[in-house]
Structure 1
Amino acid sequence: MLKRVPTQDRRRLAIVSVLVVAVLLVAGSALGAVRAEPTGLIMNGLPAGPVGAAALGSLELSVDIGDHDRRALRLTVDGREVSGAISGTTVRYRPAGLSEGDHTVTAEIRPGGLFGWMRTGPGVSRTFTVDTTAPDLEVAALPPVSSYRQPVTVRGKAIGADRVTVGAGAATPDSSGDFEIALPRAPVGAAVTAVDAAGNTTTRPLSAAVALPPMKAVHVTAYGWADEGLRSGVLAMAREGRINTVELDIKDEDGMIGYASDVPLARESGASTRIYDARAALKTLHDMGIRVEGRIVAFRDPTLAGWAWRSGHPDWVVQDPAGLPYSSGYGAIAFTNFAHPEIRRYNIDLAAEAARLGFDGVMYDYVRRPDGPLDGMRFAGLAEPPTDSIAHFLRDSRDPVRDGGAALSAAVFGIAATRPGQIAQDIPMMAANVDYVAPMLYPSHWGAGEYGVADPNAQPYDIIARSLQDFRTQTAGTGAKVIPWLQDFSLGVNYGDGEVRAQIDAAAANGVDSFLLWNAASRYHAGALAPDH
């Protein structure tokens, strides 16, 4: 039987209970006044999609703990507790050694403090996928093409790729991984790259061989083409099948452009002329099935050099140690500074314009420094060896010319094969950036005993055969052909059909099926050239 609690005791218990509740309420109010309810955690650093191999190496997760006690943070990856670096209210963690697949990172505040056992601390959890497997990429070999005006289609299979690119061209593979990309011209020294959703990439080299047709060419000056008699002689050789290519001057040794160029500097400097109509000349020759190579005398340019010097651009001109224009056997002020960006741009603009007009190829001549002791010359802004600068100029010219549809070539000294520093023509470096190298192997220009030939001018077959071997060796593996300049003029020894034919035969015997004949007067020995029909 329960005892009845006296009324007085019941009143005391009630008072105590009220006091305890009041104390709890006051304590709760006091705690609330000191610290508001903590905010949640914020996690950053995870990408929206899968984490690829490149991103994994630099992946950094950060957790903003706000006003929580950082000592109470628990960070886990796939349930395993890890430690992060603490800076202010941010904890940073860089995952390492994660395998492919899904992973979960969790950050939470351990319960603690007064009455902490009554609740669970705030937390945040994220799941992400690691994918470091690059796409499988196969690219079909491209067939040879005969011109940079001929479009090509790149085909292949890219398993696991979201995107495949070649330069500016791109495609999305189908469900089987097959892709094709149409390009406006043959890619040379390019690459195909396949990328998946995680950013993993696979790259394969791609190069289409531009198989230039065999060339039997003669050089024609701007004035030579404008002269009806000289032009008729050249066209007669073309109709008879004795030549299939005409090499026509664009910018000559005087720096004059044979047609009305739209390049602003050509007009401003007075270099642009109307000696011949480029479009009409190209149509005439193309209608006959004749290839047209355009020649640009690059850095021997008295017209631009003189204009630049007078117009306050002395750094556009090669100078001597005294700061005056470098004087050479070509004139008092004949050479522009190949290292200057404006000079380089001028020549590249002319070459690109010629390609767009329809020239099948563009050849740079005098793409070199002046001959003579290097310590007697100053090239403002030159920050690399002259040989490197010349080769890099060709590299910079390559795409603008090819994008216009033309091949690129460079005329070089015969001695460059053995003495590259003498005029800054390193043959392997230059060949890597052109479609063909054109060494000037004129027998009259070799000294007695060169290549073991006692009298090169009187032994045209021997000197051509032996000098060509060096150029073929030095261009091997570069992708560039060798098409020599041969002599069809007399200098010390009278040259006729036999001497010209001997040089052509020597080239053929060395596996070279193309040649360019030089005669400054644009007159040639047709009898040396066997007709094709």
Structure 2
Amino acid sequence: MAERTRRRWIWVLAVVGVLAAVAVAVPVGVWSMGGKPDIDGVADGAVLHPDRLGDLAVSADDDIVLLVDGEQVRTRRDGDRIVLADPGLDEGVHSVTARDTAPLLPDRETTHHFTVDATPPELTVDDTEVTSLTEPYTLTGRAEDASVVTVDDQVVPLEEDGTFSVELPRPPATVSVLARDAAGNTATEEHQVQVRHPGMRAVHMSAMAWSSPTLRDPVLRMAREGRIDTVQLDIKDEAGDVGYLSNVPLAKQIGATNDHYDAKAVAEQLNDLGVRLVGRLVAFRDPVLAEASWASGKHDRVIQTSGGTPWSGSYGEYAFTNFANPEVVAYNVALAEEAAELGFDDILYDYVRRPEGSLEQMRIPGLQGTPEQAIVDFLATSRDSVRPHGAFLGASVFGIAVDRPTAIAQDIGAMAPVVDYVSPMVYPSHWGPGEFGVANPESQPYDITYRSLKAFVDLMKGSGAEVIPWLQAFSMSRTYGPAEVAAQIDAAKKATGAESYLLWNASCRYDTTGLKPAS
């Protein structure tokens, strides 16, 4: 009996030894009593982008096989992990199974179900038109199937139906909207805020004219009578002179500032009358900056002849600064931004172009690409700078630019999307015989104004910018009085659909009989 018991214990110990040997042969982490393989990188029930399939892995030995949707798939070893050899899967619901096929052990497996999603959310940003740049702006839209929406990198509340809404302090020129779903798919839109200029019936005033009661008071009387609703006052003129005591460092350095008016006080005075203030800023015709730059050795700030001397054309020496020079660009943008901060409702650039003449005979230091694109880039930078201060941006252009974009680097089709309005100088006296089929433009103010402006309207359709023309309130070979001014105003209204215009008279004297009070 004792011998039989001894043999039984020897058999039990042998079996235990075999089992212990098997346990030692199985790596820790692959199998343990009651354990299953671990699937990493794809959680059960996850929604993921196809690129994330490369993260799927099992830490195991060669006894592990992977099945996708019930079918064994090829794998490869990546260090101590087993990963899919071909992680590509179609969109939809899938399963992955890690199965332990080690000998002497019952099959043990783990299965995760997941969804592959490569479709970005459907993002729609509403076009909400605004006419005020100083009031809060509400951006709304819908992001179908999104889990997160950001506006200019800030997370905004997302409703269950996918709609979102966020109030911004002021309407920006553009706003970046991003929608992201649970899989990490994104949809983005650089949304251009739809801005409609409130319109203007304006007269031009130089800085010196505004300092003269003899010239200023009649304009204020016109405003009180409702004959005009806007005053255009020069910020920087053709001489390069700034009309007020600017704090822009370069303006002070080159002696461009003058004390003709107090910008902030003028803005407040006109605002109290319910009158808008537009600042005309002559950009690149700037003798003060050009001469100071040349004298200090900063020749690249000046447009030159092919021989390396300052370009003059018919404007005099040191006439044109270089629109491709970063310092010249920064100077004008700084003046525009300062004026917007001081209360100007609009910044209206003039001479935002290259000088007339053969481009082959000019030297434009630092120009990359075409002059036309450099002008467009300048305007885009300017609008982004003045918009946060509540100012609209306009560009005065030659009438011929409507069909001759390279003559002076004013490509209207390219300029229109980066400004709020374009102001063509369609003075009848400046057109040659036969332009737009008009035999004698100066004697036919209605015909030439209507036809030329209609061409601008057609060209700019869909750009988001409006046409607000400069009209002639001065005489050349033909006397222009109330009848001629009224004819241009009527033609502009018919061509553009709005009663908006700026009257130009270099002497800043205006005959009010051609201007009716607003109805």
Q: Shift of residue 138 of structure 1?
A: 6.2
Task: Say if 1:271 and 1:121 are closer, same or farther in 2 by CA, change over 3 A.
Answer: farther
Is 1:215 matched with 2:215? no
- The more displaced of 384-393 and 451-460 is 451-460
Alignment correspondent of 1:432: 417
Is 1:319 matched with 2:313? no
- Judge conservation of contact 2:44–2:113 (CA < 8 Å) in 1: no
Is 1:523 matched with 2:517? no
Distance 1:266 1:47 in 2: 63
Task: Say if 1:175 and 1:42 are closer, same or farther in 2 by CA, change over 3 A.
Answer: closer
Aligned partner of residue 275 in structure 1, secondary structure: coil
Distance 2:290 2:358 in 1: 20
Task: Say if 1:36 and 1:274 are closer, same or farther in 2 by CA, change over 3 A.
Answer: farther
Alignment correspondent of 1:81: 72
Is 1:148 matched with 2:148? no
Correspondences of 1:57-456 after superposition (within 5 Å): 57=51, 59-61=53-55, 63=57, 74-86=65-77, 92-93=83-84, 94-101=86-93, 103-106=94-97, 111=102, 117-118=103-104, 128-132=114-118, 134-135=120-121, 142=128, 144-156=129-141, 158=143, 160-167=145-152, 170-186=155-171, 193-201=178-186, 209-456=194-441
Aligned partner of residue 60 in structure 1, secondary structure: helix
Q: Shift of residue 244 of structure 1?
A: 0.6
TM-score under structure 2 length normalisation? 0.85
Task: Say if 1:526 and 1:504 are closer, same or farther in 2 by CA, change over 3 A.
Answer: same
Deviations 1:178-212 (A, max 9, x none): 43211223356657543333333456786654332
- The more displaced of 196-205 and 487-496 is 196-205
Aligned length: 504
- Judge conservation of contact 2:300–2:365 (CA < 8 Å) in 1: yes
- Judge conservation of contact 1:49–1:197 (CA < 8 Å) in 2: no
Q: Shift of residue 395 of structure 1?
A: 1.9
Distance 1:505 1:434 in 2: 25
- Judge conservation of contact 1:108–1:123 (CA < 8 Å) in 2: yes
- Judge conservation of contact 2:57–2:83 (CA < 8 Å) in 1: yes
Q: Residue type matched to 1:60 in 2?
A: G
- Judge conservation of contact 2:46–2:113 (CA < 8 Å) in 1: no
Deviations 1:477-511 (A, max 9, x none): 11211111111122232222222222222223323
Correspondences of 1:468-483 after superposition (within 5 Å): 468-483=453-468
Task: Say if 1:496 and 1:317 are closer, same or farther in 2 by CA, change over 3 A.
Answer: same
Distance 2:209 2:41 in 1: 70
- Judge conservation of contact 2:205–2:508 (CA < 8 Å) in 1: yes
- The more displaced of 127-136 and 313-322 is 127-136
Task: Say if 1:190 and 1:219 are closer, same or farther in 2 by CA, change over 3 A.
Answer: same
Distance 1:369 1:42 in 2: 69
Is 1:495 matched with 2:480? yes
- Judge conservation of contact 1:187–1:206 (CA < 8 Å) in 2: no
- Judge conservation of contact 1:186–1:207 (CA < 8 Å) in 2: no
- The more displaced of 191-200 and 340-349 is 191-200
Distance 2:43 2:105 in 1: 32
Alignment correspondent of 1:56: 50
TM-score under structure 1 length normalisation? 0.82
Aligned partner of residue 266 in structure 1, secondary structure: helix
Distance 1:342 1:120 in 2: 78
Q: Shift of residue 122 of structure 1?
A: 11
Alignment correspondent of 1:114: none
- Judge conservation of contact 1:50–1:131 (CA < 8 Å) in 2: no
Task: Say if 1:90 and 1:338 are closer, same or farther in 2 by CA, change over 3 A.
Answer: farther
Q: Shift of residue 236 of structure 1?
A: 1.2
Deviations 1:68-113 (A, max 9, x none): 5xx6553333443222455666655352224434x554556753xx
Alignment correspondent of 1:514: 500
Q: Shift of residue 174 of structure 1?
A: 3.4
Task: Say if 1:125 and 1:148 are closer, same or farther in 2 by CA, change over 3 A.
Answer: same
Q: Shift of residue 288 of structure 1?
A: 0.5
Task: Say if 1:165 and 1:454 are closer, same or farther in 2 by CA, change over 3 A.
Answer: same
Distance 2:208 2:248 in 1: 21
Task: Say if 1:312 and 1:98 are closer, same or farther in 2 by CA, change over 3 A.
Answer: same
- The more displaced of 76-85 and 236-245 is 76-85
Task: Say if 1:459 and 1:62 are closer, same or farther in 2 by CA, change over 3 A.
Answer: same
Aligned partner of residue 420 in structure 1, secondary structure: coil
Task: Say if 1:501 and 1:37 are closer, same or farther in 2 by CA, change over 3 A.
Answer: closer
- Judge conservation of contact 1:169–1:183 (CA < 8 Å) in 2: no
Aligned partner of residue 422 in structure 1, secondary structure: coil
- The more displaced of 176-185 and 418-427 is 176-185
Q: Shift of residue 422 of structure 1?
A: 0.4
Distance 2:55 2:471 in 1: 69
Q: Shift of residue 338 of structure 1?
A: 1.2
Q: Residue type matched to 1:221 in 2?
A: S
Task: Say if 1:125 and 1:303 are closer, same or farther in 2 by CA, change over 3 A.
Answer: farther
Aligned partner of residue 260 in structure 2, secondary structure: coil
Alignment correspondent of 2:34: none
Aligned partner of residue 272 in structure 1, secondary structure: coil
Aligned partner of residue 475 in structure 2, secondary structure: coil
Q: Shift of residue 343 of structure 1?
A: 2.2
Structure 2 runs not aligned, ≥5 long = 31-36
Q: Residue type matched to 1:100 in 2?
A: G
Q: Residue type matched to 2:147 in 1?
A: D
